[in-house]
Structure 1
Amino acid sequence: MKHRFLIGLLFFIAGLQAQDAVHNFGVIQIHNNAEVGFHLDLVNDGSFDQITGLVGFYGNEDPLTVSGAYTPVLHDAEVDVPGGLILQIPIDVHNNVNLVTGDIRTVKSGTAVYSNFMDDAFYIGESSVSKINGYGAVTNKESFVFPVGNEDRLRPLLIESVAVNAMAKCAYFFEDPNDSKTLNQSFQTGKKATDYISVSDKEFWRLESDVPSKVTLTWDMYSDVRSLGEYLSDLKVVGWSKSENQWVNLGNSAVEGGMAYGSVTSEVFLPSDYEILTLGGNDDRLETYDTIELDNYFMTPNGDGTNDMLELEGISQSPNNLLEIFDRYGVLVYSKANYQNDFTGRSNRESVIERGKGLASGIYFYILTMHDLRQKHQGYLYISN
């Protein structure tokens, strides 16, 4: 009887508003397995924070709006509004969000409004037609995949933090960072901490977090990553530094997929130090480097003091360099900027084997890019354990 009363109360309140909206001035509580569906806008000017049931938002091609003075705190939520669910205030969810059809939308020019996944909350059903077009947020989480995107594309970002985030927020922008209309700011792709990186002018993400983290950015056919690098190993995460007012290389600790669809993971950095993040690669000028065949090398990294490290000739002539080692399948197993003859046969790529583990015996291919000399040196390496 209690469930029926609460549901009837909601419709009664909606009737008082001439069917324009459900306007809550009092206390709404939903218990046990009760389900309540909103087919009208919700104006929450009362308490809506003691929920154990399901709250659904359902509509057609017209959007629904959630507004008011107080944040609704939901247990389970469902969004099936083809026209979109527009948030003018934040929404907190403690358990599951079922994304069926229609985006959850927030203003992107500021981060004050968001769809917040609290504690153990999760979601299902994310797709190109059901995602967050605006800011998603998490509370008390170390890792999370933000189901963000724009009007017709899901463009998720994964954050993996070294500790729990009290709160982190993320949004995706399908805009040229050189001229962001939404943020009314220019992040010039030509302003770079090093001349040897390129920066995407197709899109970017905005991420707020005060905890050191790795992030994984995704790309699709519209990202045009072929313009950023010749090989997948060329791709990296770059960020616009707030203190330096320029793009900084945030690294590449893992890369997956192909040139049409894939993802790249950064090294650990502090997101709050950067205004926005995007995909980067190697500058086109690297294609003009002379390619030189180097000697082949033999390693026996067994700790006996002989051939334990990869000592490349002439490395001192170009301290500004990059060493990349690939296995026989073309998979990048080691990458080191400013290499100093300190490779001991252990991988530093988490996507290959456990980071820090020794590579199996066999033949490997290496490329040493020497920026100071504008040369690319390549050869083979044989490891015998």
Structure 2
Amino acid sequence: MKSLLHIPFLLFASLVMAQGLYNAGNLGIHAGTNMGLGLHTNLISDTDFAYNNGLVGFYGNTVIEVSGNVPPTLWDTEIMILERVHLQTVLNVKNNVNFIDGDFLSPQNDQMVYLNFMDQGFFTGESDVSKVTGFAAINDRDFFSFPVGDRALLRPLTLDSEGPTPLAICAYFNEDPSAPSSILQSFNTQQKVRDIGTVSDREFWIVQSDVPAKVTISWNVGSGLALIPNATLESVIVVGWHKASNQWVVIGNTAVSGDISQGFVTSDTFVPSEYAAITFGTIPLPTDTFAVENPTLGNYFLSPNGDGVNDVLVIDGLEESPNNHLSIYNRYGQKVFEKINYTNEFGGVSNTGSFILSQDQGLAEGVYFYVVTLEDLGLQYTGFLFLDR
């Protein structure tokens, strides 16, 4: 049985030749029908598609535009185009979007235009060369990974909601939030709460949903997190530009993996629509002078022979950090020295008592292990010292 296009043939032919495929009547795509919108052929929709159960593909080597007063609703679609499919109206997909080559592009400054995955919609084949550049959306879903990115890279965002969200939208921007070129609003990365150390100036996402959710986003070398002074994997958090307070605030993290050059982070639960943008941040650097100047401590040599050189363990600047705690252990794991608010008192003699038989003779020559804790800052340093007799 032949598939039918429910539109008068002469009208169909003349409008395809003049300006693209213009749906002004009841255009039906039946199951088993493969209709390729080819070279220089736009889709203009001014009424609903009817009997739509087939595949509409976008093919060719020039830009194809989708426009009209009534958003078209497709069953299956695929994209294999050297340029892109430019959405000027919402494009709904009930079933599958097959990404092969080329991007679906929506205006990044218009959150009302997007590629919409309906309640059963899904996608396959997303990659750096085929994705959504601009806004993607979902209907009545509680979990979805948005296949968004910029012209060069796929930069997905996963939304894990506490319940089905009637509508959620998402887009990625490879731009400085303080001075984006694609949208009118800006988000000053220096305008932030004290709990944030640094806000990324490389990229951000816009995600909108009224249902509480967690998001997962990933970073790569281009994200530049490794360039933030003293940044570590554990310091990475999700931050958001809060609409009510007009500043970056902490959204936090519940999971983080990878390393500082490449990894991903999952946020705490938040309501996305309360935030205009989200990106990566880090927890603040310590303001304590000792902690800032000593991200790690080294190993030490101690020779308590009275010559004035290396007679005591000196950890430069530690006396300026209040509430420090030094513990020293021998190679058997036995604590041989302990001091709160250490100020260069250890000269090779134990102060912990019982197992040292002759404290006046000092500790035996050898390697010892130390732990320095800065209680107020929640920081801890470890290392070794060699005691020479």
TM-score range, shorter chain: 0.7 to 0.9
Alpha carbons of structure 1 residues 276 and 49: separation in structure 2 relative to 1, 3 Å: farther
2:380 is matched with: 377
User: Higher mean Cα deviation, 192-201 or 237-246?
Assistant: 192-201
**Does the Cα contact within 8 Å between 2:7 and 2:25 map onto a contact in 1?**
no
2:5 is matched with: 6
1:234 deviates by 1.0
- Which TM-score applies when normalising by structure 2? 0.73
2:307 is matched with: none
**Does the Cα contact within 8 Å between 1:14 and 1:23 map onto a contact in 2?**
no
**Does the Cα contact within 8 Å between 1:135 and 1:171 map onto a contact in 2?**
yes
Letter matched to residue 121 of structure 2: A
Equivalent position SS for 1:272: helix
Question: What count of residue pairs does the alignment treat as equivalent?
Answer: 309
2:272 is aligned with 1:268: no
Structure 1: 5+ residue stretches without partners:
297-313, 315-365, 381-385
2:209 is matched with: 209
Structure 2: 5+ residue stretches without partners:
296-323, 329-339, 341-370, 384-389
- Which TM-score applies when normalising by structure 1? 0.74
1:369 deviates by 7.5
1:306 is matched with: none
Q: Percent same amino acid among aligned pairs?
A: 38
Alpha carbons of structure 1 residues 14 and 227: separation in structure 2 relative to 1, 3 Å: farther
Q: Following superposition of structure 1 onto structure 2, how do residues 90-101 of structure 1 map, counting pairs within 5 Å?
A: 90-101=90-101
1:188 deviates by 1.1
2:165 is aligned with 1:162: no
In 1, Cα distance between the equivalents of 2:10 and 2:113?
27
Equivalent position SS for 1:182: coil
Equivalent position SS for 2:12: helix
2:244 is matched with: 243
1:32 deviates by 2.0
2:78 is aligned with 1:89: no
In 2, Cα distance between the equivalents of 1:138 and 1:75?
15
2:19 is matched with: 20
In 2, Cα distance between the equivalents of 1:11 and 1:115?
31
1:288 is matched with: 292
Alpha carbons of structure 1 residues 52 and 369: separation in structure 2 relative to 1, 3 Å: farther
Deviations 1:205-247, CA, capped at 9 Å, x for gaps: 0010000000011112210111345321111100011111111
In 2, Cα distance between the equivalents of 1:369 and 1:58?
63
**Larger Rg belongs to:** 2
Deviations 1:99-118, CA, capped at 9 Å, x for gaps: 01110000011201000011
**Does the Cα contact within 8 Å between 2:326 and 2:373 map onto a contact in 1?**
no
Equivalent position SS for 1:152: coil
In 1, Cα distance between the equivalents of 2:219 and 2:80?
27
Letter matched to residue 26 of structure 1: G
**Does the Cα contact within 8 Å between 1:289 and 1:376 map onto a contact in 2?**
no
2:141 is aligned with 1:138: no
Deviations 1:137-170, CA, capped at 9 Å, x for gaps: 0001001100111111111000000011101000
In 1, Cα distance between the equivalents of 2:96 and 2:106?
19
**Does the Cα contact within 8 Å between 1:7 and 1:36 map onto a contact in 2?**
no
User: Higher mean Cα deviation, 251-260 or 204-213?
Assistant: 251-260
Letter matched to residue 376 of structure 1: L
Equivalent position SS for 1:48: coil
1:97 deviates by 0.3
1:367 deviates by 11
In 1, Cα distance between the equivalents of 2:118 and 2:250?
31
1:67 deviates by 0.4
**Does the Cα contact within 8 Å between 2:251 and 2:267 map onto a contact in 1?**
yes
2:45 is matched with: 44
Alpha carbons of structure 1 residues 270 and 76: separation in structure 2 relative to 1, 3 Å: same
1:187 is matched with: 187
In 2, Cα distance between the equivalents of 1:27 and 1:106?
26
In 1, Cα distance between the equivalents of 2:82 and 2:231?
40
1:76 deviates by 0.8
